A = this chain, B = another copy of it.
Amino acid sequence: MDLFGVLHLDELSHGLANLSMFPYFDMAHYIVSVMALREQPGALEVSRVSPLACWFSSMLFCFGGAVLSGIMLAEPPVAPLTNSTSVLLASVIWYLVFYCPMDVVYCCAAVLPLRLVLSGMKEVTRTWKVLGGVTQAHGKYKDSLLVMIAIGWAKGAGGGLISNFEQLVRGVWKPETNELLRMSYPTKITLIGAVLFALQQTHYLPLQKHHLMLLYTVFTVVNKSRMMLTGSSASPFAAIESAIYKTLFTGYSPYAALTGEVKNACIDNGTTTRTTSAATTKESSESGAARKHTPASPVKGQSESLKAKEESENAETTSCKKTN
């Protein structure tokens, strides 16, 4: 591209493309991932009760992408374990973050400037992982754009996509939410990256690979830093998303009506329960159970459940005091 030539960015993009992730960037990825696990509600308790479950959870945070893309391509999900050096490095970091005397490591890494640098480095690894997934899928299924996107996405955002099952390892089960129902920012940006790299790989996108790598990396790092510094979780794509949503997915819109109905039903229910009195205990208990399980309002529960997670994801600016 001419623009890259003019701005003398060609060497920079080549330099970036030849950068090795191991060991420094990988290390940053492991630290940020394990810290994200530690900030999940209940994770500290689990780390005291069962170090093994905690370690396994950490490995899923660190290597979730490789495990998920392995399963999707029918390759052994234990394959990440064969890379002893990476597993050892991740395990040492897991140990230091959770069990270091005086909690020195976590407190240091949680200081804003350091955390900012580490998170930026972790974002860099995302580019490599997404590209790795897309290339791997391209090698197996030459022309399938969809498979490339799926594998690139899985490899880059695996930890998030399998979070339901990662939580299960820690004894936590939140079926009412998952990354497909309500995507977090990292999952979204990874999906966009997977689409871009898949389009580049199939030559639909007239850009060279190292140029796209530079652009995508700069975008993710800058955006992550901005989000951490301002403490905002606003997606930079909110406007586009909203426009797409309004254009494509409103259709005949029975949703407003439905919500109204559900609300009315709930009010009716409440009234009935209240007026009938003691004899309805059994029914109300069942309606309570039903209400818990009714698919009618998984969406309501979501927002609350996700809030905790989002806070922990975005609360990277919180100081160490909070956790003590």
Q: Are A258 and B44 in contact (CB under 8 A)?
A: yes
The segment out of A8-16, A17-25, A95-103, A217-225 that lies at the interface is A95-103
The segment out of A27-35, A122-130, A139-147, A208-216 that lies at the interface is A139-147
Q: Which residues of B contact A282 (CB under 8 A)?
A: 269-270, 272-274, 284, 287-288
Q: Are B78 and A181 in contact (CB under 8 A)?
A: no
Of the residues B74, B87, B251, B288, contact of A286 by C-beta under 8 Å: B288
> Among residues 32 to 70 in chain A, which have CB atoms less than 8 Å away from a CB atom of chain B?
40-53, 56, 70
Q: Are B82 and A144 in contact (CB under 8 A)?
A: yes
Q: Are B50 and A101 in contact (CB under 8 A)?
A: no
Tell me whether A324 is interfacial, beta carbon within 8 Å: yes
Tell me whether A81 is interfacial, beta carbon within 8 Å: yes
Interface bracket on A: 35 or more
Q: Are A290 and B295 in contact (CB under 8 A)?
A: no
Tell me whether A169 is interfacial, beta carbon within 8 Å: yes
Tell me whether A233 is interfacial, beta carbon within 8 Å: no
Number of copies of this kind of chain in the complex: 3
Tell me whether A174 is interfacial, beta carbon within 8 Å: yes
Q: Are B251 and A50 in contact (CB under 8 A)?
A: no
Tell me whether A84 is interfacial, beta carbon within 8 Å: yes
Q: Are B283 and A102 in contact (CB under 8 A)?
A: no
Q: Are A100 and B273 in contact (CB under 8 A)?
A: no
Tell me whether A204 is interfacial, beta carbon within 8 Å: no
Tell me whether A168 is interfacial, beta carbon within 8 Å: yes
Q: Which residues of B contact A47 (CB under 8 A)?
A: 249
Residues of A within 8 A of B (CB): 40-53, 56, 70-78, 81-82, 84, 87, 95, 98-103, 140-141, 144-147, 150-151, 164, 167-178, 180-183, 245, 248-255, 257-259, 269-270, 272-299, 301-302, 305, 323-324
